[in-house]
């Protein structure tokens, strides 16, 4: 009983710290001074629009792009697409990223009944396969839910939500509210 109570209290304290710290809990990957962090929904039209801009900025500045899944409740296939993206990411990060780009490129053609056929076509084009049951143990779904929970804890309520995060303790993050207009300027400001 005591152990359960201690575990519960620890989890509550962690959740409170995440809320209290907000996005400052987000950090660049080890070895990086700066990173672009995006919480995205694969069915979100604005995410589709900003994705190429964010990817290009990461390449131009040679900084990591860290993606978190944040499927919105009104989107009827985004959660399943995120699980599939996680499946491909387990093969390689590049393959997972390529799948996300592919889904964004075909977003307007996709609906719940044909998402699987798009994923199968992507797999065939990349000389891999997608198992009949993508996530039999629910492990990939748990990763998507963990991303969503983290986003909720730090106050995210829309997609895309884009941050430039740094190792600088005096300025650990800046939200980019208009990624299509302000992304490069924000990165420049965070680099200084």
Encode pLDDT of 84-103 as tens digits.
Answer: 999 999 999 999 999 999 99
pLDDT of residue 22 exceeding 80, the answer is no
E-strand stretches of the chain: 34-40, 65-69, 161-166, 173-176
Q: Please state, in angstroms and rounded to a whole number, the distance separating the CA atoms of residues 23 and 190.
A: 15
Tokens, residue 58: 């990461």
Spatial neighbors of 150 by CB under 8 A, at least 6 apart, are 18, 25, 68
The mean per-residue pLDDT over the stretch 46-59 comes to 96
Cβ count near 186 (within 10 Å) = 21
* pLDDT tens string 126-170: 999 999 999 999 999 999 999 999 999 999 999 999 999 999 988
Confidence (pTM):
0.85
Which residue in 145, 16, 19 sits closest to 70, CA to CA? 145
Q: How confident is the model at residue 21 (pLDDT cuts 50, 70, 90)?
A: low
- Give dist(CA 52, CA 136) in Å, integer: 32
User: How many Cβ atoms are within 10 Å of 111's Cβ, its own excluded?
Assistant: 11
- Give the Cα separation of 176 and 178 in Å (integer): 6
Q: How many helices (H) and strands (E) does the chain have?
A: 7, 4
CA distances in angstroms from 103 to 26, 112, 166, listed in the order given: 26, 13, 29
DSSP letter (8 states) at residue 167 = S
The DSSP secondary-structure symbol of 100 reads: H
55 C-beta neighbours (distance < 10 Å), count: 17
Q: What domains lie within the chain, and their CATH numbers?
A: 2-191 (3.40.30.10)
């Amino acid at each position: 009983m005591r152990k359960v109570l201690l575990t519960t209290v620890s989890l509550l304290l962690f959740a409170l710290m995440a809320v209290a710290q907000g996005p400052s809990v987000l950090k660049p990957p080890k070895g990086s001074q700066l990173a672009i962090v995006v919480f995205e929904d694969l069915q979100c039209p604005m995410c589709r629009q900003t994705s190429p801009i964010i990817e290009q900025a990461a390449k131009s500045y040679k900084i990591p792009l860290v993606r978190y899944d944040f499927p919105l409740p009104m989107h009827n296939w985004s959660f399943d697409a995120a699980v599939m993206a996680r499946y491909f990411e387990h093969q390689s990060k590049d393959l997972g990223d390529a799948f996300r780009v592919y889904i964004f490129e075909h977003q307007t053609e996709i609906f719940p009944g044909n998402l699987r056929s798009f994923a199968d076509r992507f797999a065939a084009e990349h000389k891999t396969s997608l198992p009949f049951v993508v996530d039999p143990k629910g492990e990939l779904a748990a990763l998507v839910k963990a991303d969503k929970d983290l986003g909720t804890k730090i106050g995210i309520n829309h997609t895309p939500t884009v941050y430039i995060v740094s190792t600088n303790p005096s300025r650990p993050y800046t939200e980019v509210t208009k990624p299509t207009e302000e992304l490069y300027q924000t990165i420049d400001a965070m680099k200084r």
